[in-house]
């Protein structure tokens, strides 16, 4: 079912409208970027399916057994969403990996390295 322009304005997501061939339901993409690979699959779901249902149906949990559905951080088009939110036609459901390094700590570390280099070059 296509998303109306009014719905797009309300949640701020510009969803692509997928053609499901006239069948009732929604077509979504599930995407997971592992450390060295990208996993993506387009699937057709029932109209009342949630983001969690889409992830289960996609097979990503079988392909990556280390993923626990209840612990996943997910979003739609780069916007975080809960697993129980309904999936809409054309959604790109993204599974996010946890950060390996806190961005603030990484910046502090880089700044410290620059200070040391600058101090060493001044001698």
pTM here is 0.67
Range of the domain at 24: 5-122
* CATH number of the domain that residue 84 is part of: 3.10.20.30
Report the domain count for the chain.
Answer: 1
Contacts of range 38-47, beta carbons closer than 8 Å, 24 or more positions apart: 39/63, 39/64, 44/20, 45/87, 47/1
Counting residues of the chain whose pLDDT is more than 90, the rounded percentage is 56
pLDDT in tens, 4-39: 444 444 455 555 444 445 556 899 999 999 888 899
In this predicted structure, which of 70-74, 80-84, 102-106, 118-122 has the lowest mean pLDDT? 118-122
Residue 98 has pLDDT above 90, yes or no: no
């Amino acid at each position: 079912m296509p998303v109306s322009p009014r719905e797009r304005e309300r949640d701020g997501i510009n969803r692509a409208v997928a053609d499901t061939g006239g069948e009732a339901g929604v077509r979504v993409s599930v995407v997971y970027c592992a450390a060295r690979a990208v996993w993506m699959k387009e699937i057709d779901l029932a109209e009342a399916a949630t983001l969690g249902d889409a992830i289960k149906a996609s097979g990503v949990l079988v392909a990556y057994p280390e993923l626990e559905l209840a612990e996943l951080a997910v979003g739609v088009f780069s916007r975080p969403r809960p697993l129980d939110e309904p999936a809409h036609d054309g959604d790109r459901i993204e599974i996010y990996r946890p950060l390996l390094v806190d961005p603030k700590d990484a910046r502090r570390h880089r700044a410290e390295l620059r200070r040391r280099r600058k101090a060493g070059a001044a001698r």
